[in-house]
Amino acid sequence: MAVTAALGLWQLDRAAQKRNLQASIDERAALPAWSEADVLRMADPDAGLHRAVRLSGEWVPNATLFLDNRQMEGRPGFYVITPLRLAGSTQAVLVQRGWVPRDFEDRSRVPEVVTPEGGVGVEGRLAPPPGKLYELGKAGAGLIRQNVDLEALTQEWGVPLLALSVVQTGDADDGLRREWPVVAAGVQKHHGYAFQWFGLCALAGFLYVWFQFISPRRKRSLHVSDT
């Protein structure tokens, strides 16, 4: 009982931490959007995560990649990513532009994605780099990849990349879908775990009372009635 109760309390404490994290995410999302100058001045990339941005720059030519095995609303396909060289700087930020379905008849084929030349504006929110999936062997090359490594891409493209990414949310005439999942800290998950641990605690208490008190008394009562 002590162990399960302690685990239940630990999950409640984790839920409280996640509530604070969710409050921080919501607070940052409600702040005015940053420009490229604000992003470049940011000393700690984590300090700006989930902040809305409105950036100006140019797409790095011939640098669009397709991240494989990514889903949107339960459908498999690609995340399309392209680095955006920020206006007035040599640095770029990796933009998760949207999602496209893949061609299951020809898995090596990628869809055509409109990538305008010249100056563009991108609206979105700051996020960590795209999450990594399990990958056998070395990281792949070519247009279709399972994962990306910012340091490796910096060497490959010859463009210094910031240690974060931008999830694009604004409208753009490129045919990409942007029904991104809502950013959530997962508070409900910890509440569910806490309920399970407290349930086991209550079960252990009930079994203790049953086998130590109720069951022996019933046996004694039956023995007395038989005699």
DSSP states along 169-223: -S--TT--B--PPPP---HHHHHHHHHHHHHHHHHHHHHHHIIIIIHHHHHHHHH
Please, which pLDDT band fits residue 109 given cuts at 50, 70 and 90? confident
Residue-level pLDDT at 183: 66
Please, which pLDDT band fits residue 119 given cuts at 50, 70 and 90? very high
Residue-level pLDDT at 175: 80
Please, which pLDDT band fits residue 27 given cuts at 50, 70 and 90? confident
- DSSP, res 74: T
Separation of alpha carbons 125 and 104, rounded Å: 31
Residue-level pLDDT at 89: 92
Q: What is the pLDDT of residues 126-135, one digit of tens each?
A: 998 887 776 6
Residue-level pLDDT at 42: 86
- Spell 131-161 as b/e; 16+ CB within 10 A means b: eeeeeeeeeeeeebbbbbebeebbeebebeb
8 A C-beta contact, residue 67 and residue 78: yes
Q: Select from 96, 113, 92, 95 the least CA-distant residue to 158.
A: 92
Q: What is the pLDDT of residues 160-181, one digit of tens each?
A: 999 999 999 977 778 888 988 7
